[in-house]
Structure 1
Amino acid sequence: MITLTDVSKDYSSTVSIGPVSVDIDSGGVTALVGPNGAGKSTILTMIGRLLSLDAGSIEVAGHDVVNTPSKAIAKIISILRQENHFVTRLTVRQLVSFGRFPYSKGRLTLGDEKYISEGIDFLDLTDLEDRYLDQLSGGQRQRAYVAMVLAQNTEYVLLDEPLNNLDMQHAVAMMKQLRRAADELGRTVVIVLHDINFAAHYSDRILAMKNGQVVEHGAPAEIMRDEVLSRVFNTEVQVIEGPNGPLAVYY
């Protein structure tokens, strides 16, 4: 379980996040949604210890993320931020191998190579593993970054808007693979999404944020209601029944 207790981050006298107190259950997919500037990415990066807390505490699987040694946290939590721009020319396999650094410290073992291969295979990148990243499409590159975090073999996988710059076909494929990672690999996936319909279709829980606060938290059926989404997104939303479940339509 991920437990946030009175977590806050102050950027200025007028811009702040929190205090946020919420539990995110282990297992499955939890989607963080909300309008721009709601604090979704800030909360995710604080959970992943890439951003300091100004107040409060965060525990992941019983470990305080502030006080637990980095090498221990890296075996519990893996995180993929939006900014993934490696300057060095790397192949797909070389990139994915970075996920093993908490274990190998750069000296890969046969066991590390196994996890690297499994991550590559899971994201359908086997035929591309010797290609350089700058030779790939945006969707292929994004899959390579996700393979890297899966190769880290952590129970908790944090992803900050992994659907950015993906067309609809590749976004759907990515969400299906993340759903599989939760179901088949037993990972706890926490993902920041802009599209509430993707969140509703692929997640087990939705955590909705607004103005730096968690305003709704529950199963998709609890969140996918006209009045709830209209309040979260500050616009009129109607939820209709689509062929594969509820869909939010904005007006």
Structure 2
Amino acid sequence: MITLESVRKTYADEVSIGPVDLQIPAGGVTALVGPNGAGKSTLLTMIGRLLGMDSGAISVAGFDVSSTKSKDLAKIVSILRQENHFITRLTIRQLVGFGRFPHSKGRLTTADEEVISKAIDFLELGELENRFIDELSGGQRQRAYVAMVLAQDTDYVLLDEPLNNLDMKRSVQMMQHLRRAAAEMGRTIVIVLHDINFAGHYADHICAVKDGAIVEFGTPEEIMTGEVLSRVFDTPVDVVDGPRGPLAVYF
């Protein structure tokens, strides 16, 4: 479980997060949704300790994010931010190998190589593993970064808008991969999404963030209603019955 207690973060007089009290259950996929600037990515990066809190406490699987040693926390929670820029020219396999650093400290063992291969195969990148990152399409590159995070082999995986720059087909494939990772690898995946319909279809829980506060948390059935979504996004939203569940329609 991920627990946030009275978490606050202030950037300026007009930009603040919290106080946030939230419990994200272990297992499955939890989607953070909400308008631009609501605080979704800020919350995610604080959970991953890439951004400090002004006050409050965050724990992941019972480990205090602020006080747990980095080498220990890196074996519990992994995070992929929106922007990934590697200056050095790397192959997919080399990139994914970075995910093993908390375990290998740069000295890859046979066991590490097996985990790397498993992550590469899981994201269907086996035929491309020796290609350089800068030779890949946007979708292939994004899958490689997700494979790197999975290779870190943490129970908790935080992903900040992994569907950015992906077309519809690749977005669907990415969400299918993440659902499989939750189900087959037993990972707890927390993901920032802009498309509420992806959240409604693939997530087990949806957390709606608005103006730096948690305004709704529940199952897709509880969140995917016209009343809730219209209030969260400040625009009229209708929810209709689609062939595979509720669909949000903006008008």
Q: TM-score range by the shorter chain?
A: over 0.9
- The 5 Å alignment of 1:191-210 reads 191-210=191-210
| Corresponding position of 1:26 | 26
- The 5 Å alignment of 1:132-171 reads 132-171=132-171
CA positional deviation for 1:142: 0.2
Identity of aligned residues (%): 71
**C-alpha distance in 2, partners of 1:37/1:8?**
15
Q: Secondary structure at the match of 1:88?
A: coil
Per-residue CA shift, 1:35-91, capped at 9, x if unaligned? 000000000000000000001000000000000000000000000000101111000
CA positional deviation for 1:212: 0.3
Please, what TM-score do these two structures have when normalized by structure 2? 1.00
Task: Give the letter for the 1:188 counterpart.
Answer: T
**C-alpha distance in 1, partners of 2:84/2:5?**
29
| Corresponding position of 1:103 | 103
Per-residue CA shift, 1:208-249, capped at 9, x if unaligned? 000000000000000001110000000000000011110000
| Corresponding position of 1:4 | 4
Task: Give the letter for the 1:221 counterpart.
Answer: E
- The 5 Å alignment of 1:53-72 reads 53-72=53-72
CA positional deviation for 1:14: 1.2
**C-alpha distance in 1, partners of 2:14/2:187?**
37
| Corresponding position of 1:16 | 16
Per-residue CA shift, 1:143-200, capped at 9, x if unaligned? 0000000000000000000000000000000000000000000000000000000000
**C-alpha distance in 1, partners of 2:154/2:103?**
11
| Corresponding position of 1:52 | 52
CA positional deviation for 1:102: 0.4
CA positional deviation for 1:13: 1.0
Per-residue CA shift, 1:11-33, capped at 9, x if unaligned? 01111001100100000000000
**C-alpha distance in 1, partners of 2:14/2:36?**
16
Q: Secondary structure at the match of 2:46?
A: helix
**C-alpha distance in 2, partners of 1:67/1:114?**
32
Task: Give the letter for the 1:5 counterpart.
Answer: E
Compute the RMSD of aligned alpha carbons: 0.4
**C-alpha distance in 1, partners of 2:64/2:135?**
40
Could you tell me which runs of 5 or more consecutive residues in structure 1 were left unpaired when the two chains were aligned: none
Q: Secondary structure at the match of 1:241?
A: strand
**C-alpha distance in 1, partners of 2:83/2:138?**
13
| Corresponding position of 1:88 | 88
Please, what TM-score do these two structures have when normalized by structure 1? 1.00
**C-alpha distance in 2, partners of 1:190/1:123?**
18
| Corresponding position of 1:189 | 189
Task: Give the letter for the 1:10 counterpart.
Answer: T
Q: Secondary structure at the match of 2:93?
A: helix
Task: Give the letter for the 1:231 counterpart.
Answer: R
Q: Secondary structure at the match of 1:131?
A: coil
Q: Which runs of 4+ in 1 moved over 6 A?
A: none
**C-alpha distance in 2, partners of 1:115/1:66?**
28
Q: Report the number of matched residues.
A: 251
